[in-house]
Amino acid sequence: MREMDRRTFLATGSLALAGLATACKKMVNALPSGVRMEAVVAAAKAKEDAAFTVVQAVEEILVAPSSRVSFALTNSTYTTRYTGGNMRVWYAPIGSAQPARGPVAATFHDQGLGDKGIYVARLNIDQATNWSVFVAGTPAGQSKEFSGGAAYPAVTRVAGPGPGGKAISVPTPTPANHRGVNPYCTRTPACSMHQISLDVALANGKPTVFVIGTPRFCTSRVCGPVVDVLQTVMGGFTGRVNFVHAEVFVNDTDAPAKQTLAPAPKAWSLESEPVVYWIKPDNTIVERIVGPTDVPEVHDLTQSLLA
């Protein structure tokens, strides 16, 4: 999606293109393997008992050996959000005669996210096409086993910098120089990730964690408090890793209605937010996460920059 209409789109639940939403009893271990996705879904439907909806936390996924796929699980009216439990994922290119791949474990991430927790699975996505992702398991506190599915488009590259590419050196707001962005941070109180401008961070020989997001306008089902999460993690890396935050919009009076991007997200060709980049000292991006990510995931990815 262009500009920031993604937030409105997600808020309506329009990304929950399940189509496959089914549920079944005692079916995770009983689902067939080595068969096409249609057979996996049919086996689940045959034991249908209840249903959940897969709410996609990202618009698209990257073609990569360990592509990060994230989603929330709710009931059909989005009034109940399922958490935890033992969830498995099957996946296949839509329309392909290939057997469905999986099951792959989907882990629940919620530390620091409050009620915006999500499931994350790492999948071997090897084609730039639309992928069917089918989820099955028993959420925490439930006695039934559920299943549901969604369609994810896979792309070989994103609009702005992505994994394997180079970070773009651009000045970002600091308390001393807002660079035309007011307020320079919409978090209350302002976060601590504005002490150094991104262009300075990228030149000081340390790895950098860079987040573009607007805390005040993070309102959809899958827009987690990522700036708060990074604020929690950064203290453990003081002096070793740069943490930099840039707001999405130039101000908070006509945003997000006018959707006027601030200089940094414009330079980085921002299309979806919040988005976090993990950047090596040579300015190579090693990971990019759109949407929610929790404290342990952020900590582990940041620690890997120091390896």
- Could you give the domains of the chain? 9-155 (2.60.40.10), 198-304 (3.40.30.10)
**So what's the pLDDT on residue 28?**
52
Q: How confident is the model at residue 144 (pLDDT cuts 50, 70, 90)?
A: confident
**So what's the pLDDT on residue 46?**
75
**So what's the pLDDT on residue 213?**
94
Average pLDDT, whole number, for the chain?
88
**So what's the pLDDT on residue 21?**
36
Is 63 strand, coil or helix? coil
- CA distance from start to end of the chain: 35
Over range 249-260, report the average pLDDT. Answer: 82
Percentage of the chain modeled with pLDDT above 70: 87
Over range 98-110, report the average pLDDT. Answer: 95
Place of tokens 């996505």: 125
Q: pLDDT higher for 44 or 280?
A: 280
Per-residue pLDDT at 20 exceeds 50: no
Taking CA atoms, 266 is separated from 38, 171, 182, 256, 278, in Å, by: 42, 12, 16, 15, 19
Over range 262-288, report the average pLDDT. Answer: 95
Q: How confident is the model at residue 5 (pLDDT cuts 50, 70, 90)?
A: very low
User: In whole angstroms, what is the distance from residue 307 CA to residue 109 CA?
Assistant: 23
Taking CA atoms, 181 is separated from 23, 117, 118, 262, in Å, by: 48, 30, 31, 7
Place of tokens 């989005």: 78
Per-residue pLDDT at 23 exceeds 60: no
Over range 258-262, report the average pLDDT. Answer: 86
Span 62-102, pLDDT tens digits: 999 999 999 999 999 999 999 999 999 999 999 999 999 99
Using alpha carbons only, give the angle 26, 52, 72 rounded to the nearest 5 degrees. Answer: 115
Q: Are 53 and 77 in contact (CB under 8 A)?
A: no
What phi, psi does 40 have (nearest 5°)? -65, -45
Span 148-205, pLDDT tens digits: 999 999 999 999 999 999 999 999 999 999 999 999 999 999 999 999 999 999 999 9
Whether the model pTM is above 0.85: yes
Q: How confident is the model at residue 287 (pLDDT cuts 50, 70, 90)?
A: very high
**So what's the pLDDT on residue 218?**
76
Per-residue pLDDT at 221 exceeds 70: no
Span 30-68, pLDDT tens digits: 688 889 999 999 887 776 567 789 999 999 999 999 999
